[in-house]
Amino acid sequence: MANKTVCTYEYEIDLNKCFFSHLERHGWSLSFRGNGNSLNIEIASCFEARMLASLLAEILLIDIRNIEMKRMASRLAESADSAAYMVRIAAGNADRFVYFPSVAEKIEEYLKEHSALVLEGFLRFMLPEIIETWQACIDASLDEIMLRDEYLELVRLLGAFVSEPNDHVRCVNLILQPDGSCVLTDENDLHIECSPGCEKNILDTLADISPEKITVYDLSMGRFNDFKESLKSMFGGRIEVYS
């Protein structure tokens, strides 16, 4: 039987609640007690040691990552909403670059030799490359947001050229599919199916026909959020969205 202590002196996080949440999500069982920013875990086997390492890797790569990214974003963003948006983009990108098993393995090896692990210390001294990756993802998210804002402004300006609706095209329906494809129909014979990545073609088509009303049925579960903003910027009150 070995006792391991995990704590943080820096992060405002309830480790007891956080640890239990990850433990429960996996359906695992470990004997532990906590008091907010500190945990004491009893390890009775190698399997439990690997289990603990995996849980701590999740806490570092999800919960602590979000705290660190919020700090990074707050130094660059103009508002809290912008910072939150940057973190959402950056967190999704970071998942592609950080290899979870290697982090869990480093934690397991560390706890073989040490009885205590301080989260911020382990992160900064044992995993500095991960902090660099997170910062790079935040920086990239800022670039992405700036490009998005410039694009929306361009779309808004283009909207001035399609401000007058076409009397011959009253209403079109746009269905946004979960796989990223789109279907455009009207009350006559129009039926256009577009493959994923078709947003620009759809915008061009709608600009050409300039309908009086565009009804959007969004089945994409958030995949087309930016595209819907583009539609609203270009067509204003002629857009009606159902999600």
Q: Is the pLDDT of residue 96 over 60?
A: yes
- pTM for the complete prediction? 0.69
Confidence of residue 1 (pLDDT cuts 50, 70, 90): confident
Per residue in 132-166, pLDDT (tens digit) is 999 999 999 988 888 777 766 766 666 666 656 66
Please state the rounded mean pLDDT for residues 92-116.
Answer: 91
Q: Which residues contact 99 (CB under 8 A, 6 or more apart)?
A: none
Q: Beta strands of the chain (E only): which ranges? A: 2-7, 31-34, 38-43, 116-118, 171-176, 182-186, 191-194, 213-218, 239-242
- Give the pLDDT confidence score for residue 42 in this predicted structure: 95
| Average predicted confidence (pLDDT) for the chain | 87
Write out the DSSP string of 27-66. Answer: T---EEEE-SSEEEEEE-SHHHHHHHHHHHHHIIIIIIHH
* CA–CA gap between residue 178 and residue 221 (Å, rounded): 7
- Give the pLDDT confidence score for residue 47 in this predicted structure: 94
So what CATH class is 164-242? alpha beta
DSSP state of 195: -
Confidence of residue 68 (pLDDT cuts 50, 70, 90): very high
- Give the pLDDT confidence score for residue 166 in this predicted structure: 61
**Where are the chain's structural domains?**
2-156, 164-242
- Give the pLDDT confidence score for residue 10 in this predicted structure: 95
* CA–CA gap between residue 83 and residue 232 (Å, rounded): 23
* CA–CA gap between residue 216 and residue 241 (Å, rounded): 5
Percent of the chain with pLDDT over 70: 93
